[in-house]
Structure 1
C-alpha cells in the first residue's frame, strides 16, 4: 500500500477521477493566469482594434457573401461565447449569404449536437457545412514551393470575406495550432493535408517541424504559403482558452500578424518551468475534448513525455470515449520495430502513420506507460500501454520512483527545463 497523502480530482472525459498525491510530489500547472476580460468584451476589442488590418466592421462593409470557418469538436475555442456578436457585425454590414464551414481536416464530421455546442445558440442555423477532405468541392489554387497542392473548399474562396476562427495552442510538429491551420489542414483536401504533413517526416527540414517552432519549420511555412494563395480578404480571430474553456485572450486581424501575437500569448501562458525531468509523471489530458479519442490524447501524452526522464514511468488519465484513431495507431504499432515503421512510411507516407511514429517514440523512451481510459485491456495493449482501472491502481502496480510530477492539465502544460 502507498503511504497516505492528499487526493486531487483530475478531469477525465466529462467527469473526474481521483489521484493520490504524496508529500514531495510536484503538481505542474500552466501559469495561464487570469482572463483579460469577459469573452464578449475581448472579442469586440480585438475586432475593433485588430493587428495589421482594418477593423472587422470595415472589412465587412460591402461584403455580400461571408464564409466563417469554425473548429470541430476536438477543439475548445470559446467561439460559442462570442458568436452572437460576430453574427451581429455580419448582419449590421448587410451580408446576404453567410456560410459556416466546420474545419474538420481529416477528422470525422461533427454531430448536430456538437455543431450546436461549437457555434452557440446565437449563431446562424442555415448554411452550416462540415468540410469533407475527400468529397467537398475544391478550388485548386496552385502548388507551394515545397510541392504541396493547395486545394481548398470552394466555400472558403467563393466569398467576399473569409473569417477564420479558432484557438492558438502548441502543436507537436506544426509549432502552434490556430491561424493558418484553419485553412490547411482545416478546409483542405486530403492530398493537400498529406503532402503538408509529410514535411514533418520527409526531407532535410523535417527536424525543424517541432513544438513551439515557426521559423524554419517546413510544415508551418508551407501552411503559411497556402494561406497567402487565398484570393479573398481574410480576417482572423484566435482565442487563447483555459482548461475550463474560459477565453483568456482574443487576437484578431491580419491572419499572419494576429496569429504571431497569439503564439506569444501561448508561450507566456502555458510554458511551465521545471527544474529537471521526473522519473514518474502522472498526467491528465484535462478532460473533454482533449481526451475525446486516442488521436487527441496523443497531445497530452506528448507534453507529459517532455517532463519524463528516459526510462521513467508515465500514467496517463484520458477517457477516450470515441475510439477515433485507435485502429490506425494499433495497425502501425503492431509493426515489429521503428526501423520497419520508418521504412513503410518512406514507401508511402500517411498522416496516421506519422502520429503512430511519434507515439512509438514516446513508448520506447519511457520505461512503462499506464493508461486509465474507457478502452478495454486489448485496445489499451494495442496502443503499447498497460491498462489500469484507476490512477490509484496504476500507482500500486507501476514502478513509482521519485521525483514525481502530477500534470492535471497536460494538454495545456508545456514543461520547460530551466535550471
Structure 2
C-alpha cells in the first residue's frame, strides 16, 4: 500500500507522519477561497462602505472618544495588522490618540502581559493608545445595565461606558455552544463580569445551544439581548475579519453589530464547512497549532469539530501541544473530584461554574468516540480528563487507535480542525 506523508501544525511547530493513502476518505480543509491581496484597502473599504449603518466618517466627529475591543492571545485576529489602519483612520477623522483606548476582551481568561498586549495590536499602537485588560473578577470595573429575560445580569467593563463610540473587532469562527464567534461576543462574554458570563454560559446545557445555531440558541439570544441593553443610546460599530488556516484575510465585514455579523456568519459557513462521505472509524486532527492548542480550554473546540467526522465508538487522534497545560485550575479540579461526565453535568445543572463547564464540554464528545492526544500535557492530568491516552508522537497514537478500530480503519484527516466543521453530505 502506498503511503503519503502529512505535516500537521502542532504548537509553534509541526508533526509529520505517514498514512496509507487508500484508507483516507477525505482530507477536510477550509474552502480554497482567494485571499485579500490589499488588506489595507479592504479594511478602509469595509469601514467606508459598511453593512446596515453609516460609514465611520459619517459617525465619528472631531474630538469624539473611541474604545476599541480587541482579542486576547487565545484567538488569532491579526489585530496587529488592522489596528494601525483603524487608528490612523480615527486620526484622519479628528480623533487624537489621547481620545482612544483599547480594551482586551479576556472573557474569563487570564490577564495579558504588557508584552502580549503590544504583540496583539502592534508596538506603535500599544505605545500611543491606552490599553486595559477586562478582568471579569474585578467587580469595581463593571457597570450594570439591567437583566435579560433569561435572568442574566448585564455588567460591562467601565472602560466601554464613558466613550462616544465602541468599535468591536475580532474574527469569526463557529462556536460550539454560542453558534458563532465574533460580533456581540466581543462585549458579552469578552468584556463582561464573571457573573454575567457564568449565567449566560449556563445555557450551554440546553440541547438547542450548539455549533452554527443562532435562532433558538439560548446562549446566542441571551448574548444578543444583553448587548442590546448595553447598546441603548450608544454607538457600536462592528469590524470582523474572516481568516484562512494560514491566518490570511479572506474577507472583512463591518457595520451594524447585528446585521454585519449575520452576513459574516453566512460567509463562515461557506469558508469553514466541509462535506464528508460518511463518518470515519478514525479521525486524525490538528487544532491548527498555536494558539488554538495553547491549552485544553482552547483545544476543546477542535474536539467538537472532530466529533462531527467520527462514527459512534470510533477514535480521534488529536494533535494538541497544550504548552500552557489545561488553562483552568477549575477544569482540573472538576474532573478530579467528579470523575464521570454524568456527575459533572449533574453538578452544573445545580450550580453552574465557569471552568467546570469546560470539563463538561471536554467530556461531551468523549461520549461518542475515544480521544487520544499527541501532546505535552501531563499524562496523569490527561487520564483524569478521560482521554484514552496521551503520547508524544502520532505513530504511538495510531498504534493505540488501531487496537480499537482495527488495522484498516476508514480515516478522515482534519489538519485545520479548529476551523473546519464536517457534515455528512
SS at match of 1:47: helix
- State how far apart, in whole Å, the 2-side matches of 1:369 and 1:85 are: 43
- Partners of 2:419 and 2:6 lie apart in 1 by 18
Query: Are 1:325 and 1:352, in contact at CA under 8 Å, matched by a contact in 2?
Result: no
- Please say which of residues 219-228 and 17-26 is displaced more in the overlay: 17-26
Q: TM-score, normalised by structure 2?
A: 0.93
Deviations 1:94-117 (A, max 9, x none): 224111000000001122222122
CA distance in 2, matches of 1:208, 1:269: 23
Shift of 1:45: 1.0
Which digits, 9 at most, give the CA deviation of each residue in 1:80-103, with x for residues without a partner? Answer: 112111011111222241110000
Distance 1:63 1:259 in 2: 28
Q: 1:378 to 1:79 in 2, by over 3 A?
A: same
* Deviation (angstroms), 1:375: 1.3
Q: Is 1:208 matched up with 2:208?
A: yes
CA-atom RMSD in angstroms: 1.5
Kindly provide the CA deviation profile for residues 171-195 of structure 1, in whole angstroms up to 9, marking residues without a partner as x. 0000000000000000010011011
Contact 1:87-1:124 within 8 A present in 2 as well: no
Structure 2 unaligned blocks of 5 or more: none
Determine whether 1:255 maps to 2:262: no
Residues 358-409 of structure 1 show CA distances to partners (whole Å, capped at 9, x for unaligned) of: 211212221x321011113212212222011111121123225421111101
- Give the equivalent residue in structure 1 for 2:217: 217
Tell me the TM-score normalised to structure 1 length. 0.94
Tell me whether 1:84 sits opposite 2:73 in the alignment. no
2:148 and 2:154 in contact (8 A); partners too: yes
| Aligned mates of 1:377, 1:351 — CA distance in 2 | 24
CA distance in 2, matches of 1:391, 1:295: 22
Contact persistence 1:67–1:161 (CA under 8 A): yes
Distance apart, 1:20 and its partner CA: 1.7
Any runs of at least 4 consecutive aligned residues in structure 1 with deviations exceeding 4 A, and if so which?
none
Per the alignment, in what secondary structure is the counterpart of residue 351 of structure 1? Answer: coil
Name the CA distance, whole Å, in 2 between partners of 1:156 and 1:232: 10
Q: Is the 8 A contact 1:13 1:288 kept in 2?
A: yes
Residue 13 of structure 1 aligns with which residue?
A: 11
Question: Which stretch shows the higher mean deviation, 141-150 or 329-338?
Answer: 329-338
Matches of 2:345 and 2:242 in 1, distance apart? 35
Inter-partner Cα distance in structure 2 for 1:21 and 1:339: 36
**What are the within-5 Å matches in structure 2 for residues 62-73 of structure 1?**
62=62, 64-73=64-73
CA distance in 2, matches of 1:384, 1:32: 36
| Superposed counterparts of 1:171-250, under 5 Å | 171-201=175-205, 206-229=206-229, 230=231, 231-250=233-252
Q: Match of 1:398, SS?
A: helix
